Amino acid sequence: MTSPTYVLVDGENIDATLGNSILGRRPQPGERPRWERLLDFVATEWECEPNGLFYLAVNGELPMSFVQALTALHYRPIPLQGAPGQKVVDIAILRTLEEIAHREADVVLVSNDGDFFEHVGALLDGSARRVGLIGFTEFRNHQFSSLVPRGLEVFDLEDDVAAFTTRLPRMRVIPIDDFDPRLFL
């Protein structure tokens, strides 16, 4: 039997990066990630059946239509609430990473947030565990680069996962071998 693979989605972080840093406005429905593609990517890339956990900060009513959509896409929504100003999604993800450290399990974190750096690093303990990070390359906290030589696998949500139906207006450095002038003409 293979170890379970958990995909921890910090939807708040991905949405904020997409809206504030890439689009400069609230994303339209067609500009948001196709979350089913994320699980499909992990399943194919790591040859596993991923368990998607989608963390949600809930300040009022539970967004039932979104929760139902996530459930239909085979995610387990985790609605969280706390005191004003409390980063409930970060707290829950950190606790989940701590628990995974005590289990034989692989994990993919979907976030750009450096608050998870130490916990992700702790999972790279020399065991057979696979640890991945998915986000936007140019907005990923730079500390994570130091974990790649230790085995952290990093993927871009748009380029590797193909989670979007339209090309995002991102500014990033292009390796010359990947440069396609047709994209600019």
Please enumerate in sequence order all residues whose Cβ is within 8 A of that of 65, keeping only pairs 6 or more positions apart, or say none.
Answer: none
pTM over 0.85: yes
- Compute the residue count for the chain: 185
Cα 184 versus chain centre, distance = 28
Least Cα distance to 8 among 139, 81, 101 occurs for 101
Q: What do you get for the CA distance between the two ends of the chain, in Å? A: 51
How many Cα atoms sit within 13 Å of 116 on the Cβ side?
A: 34
Angle subtended at Cα 92 by Cα 100 and Cα 160, rounded to the nearest 5 degrees: 70
Distances (CA, A) of 103 to 5, 47, 96, 143: 11, 19, 11, 25
Which residue's entry shows tokens 């840093």?
21
Strand blocks (E) in 45-138: 50-57, 75-80, 106-110, 131-135
Domain 5-183, CATH class in plain words? alpha beta
Q: pLDDT per residue over 43-78, tens digit each?
A: 999 999 999 999 999 988 888 999 999 999 999 999
What pLDDT score does 126 carry?
Answer: 82
Question: Does the pLDDT value for residue 173 go beyond 90?
Answer: no
Which residue's entry shows tokens 């450096």?
114
Tell me the C-alpha distance between 50 and 121, whole Å: 21
- Plot region of 112 (φ>0 → left; ψ -120 to 50 → alpha; else → beta): alpha
Question: Does the pLDDT value for residue 2 go beyond 80?
Answer: no
Handedness of CA 84, 14, 73, 121 (dihedral sign): negative
Q: pLDDT per residue over 108-153, tens digit each?
A: 999 999 999 999 999 998 888 999 999 999 999 999 999 999 999 9
Hey, where are the domains in the chain? Answer: 5-183
